[in-house]
Amino acid sequence: KWWGKFHGWSLRLAPEYPLPIVYEDSFEALKWIAGHSDGSGPEPRLNRYADLGRVFIQGESAGANISQYVAVRAGAAGLTGVRIKGVLIVHPFFGGTEMDEMYKFMCPTSSRLDDDPRLNPAVDPDLPKMACEKVLVCVAEKDSLRNTGVKYYETLCGSEWEGKVELEEAKDEGHCFHAFSKNERAEQLIKKMVDFITKD
């Protein structure tokens, strides 16, 4: 079994707070964590216990999309105070599905889906600056979002980003199945994520 330190935060959500607020809030949260690097931040437990030289960002579904954005933004901004070792992109939503119309409603500032880097990382000029050393992309065979997750993996492989990326696919499973099932495939996925974090 594995033990780690986690920090999460509440986000302002649509429709009361339209996108892209949730993206900006998430990046601000990472900056807030980085503000503890000299041991004088507002959260004593982060000052005392957190190893900010070994940070992982993880998200599932829309959260995976946000996690990817935060890692790229951190690199493009030259964020200091944290060293992002890895990003876990689990069953990500990157557009290209029947949910695109809903995204247009939630994010009225997005002109077109294919040129919005939040939904199509391939058009993001800052993608090569992604501030992490490795990425784990997890997809599920029966997930309607599977193909966009695979496309994201292929985009990273073909980009100028210099980190390592791997793809993990769960057979015969659907979207975020591991959150609802305790079967062997769920255990295998969780073990894969733990190994990704604990092994260099």
pLDDT digits (tens, 9 = 90+) for 31-83: 999 999 999 999 999 999 999 999 999 999 989 999 999 999 999 999 999 99
Which one has a higher pLDDT value, 114 or 179?
179
Spatial neighbors of 22 by CB under 8 A, at least 6 apart, are 11, 12, 13, 14, 66
Per the annotation, the verdict on 175 as an active-site residue is yes
From 7, 25, 37, 61, active-site residue: 61
- Global pTM reads 0.88
Per the annotation, the verdict on 61 as an active-site residue is yes
Q: What gap in Å lies between CA 156 and CA 150, rounded to an integer?
A: 10
Mean pLDDT of 117-138: 95
87, pLDDT greater than 70: yes
85, pLDDT greater than 50: yes
From 36, 91, 175, 178, active-site residue: 175
Per the annotation, the verdict on 143 as an active-site residue is yes
Average pLDDT over all residues of the chain: 88
CATH 3.40.50.1820 fits domain 21-134+145-164: yes
Which one has a higher pLDDT value, 75 or 10?
75
6, pLDDT greater than 60: no
Q: Is the peptide bond before 15 cis (omega within 30 degrees of 0)?
A: yes
From 26, 116, 124, 143, active-site residue: 143
- HSE-up of 25 (CA within 13 Å, CB side)? 14
Domain regions of the chain by residue span: 21-134+145-164
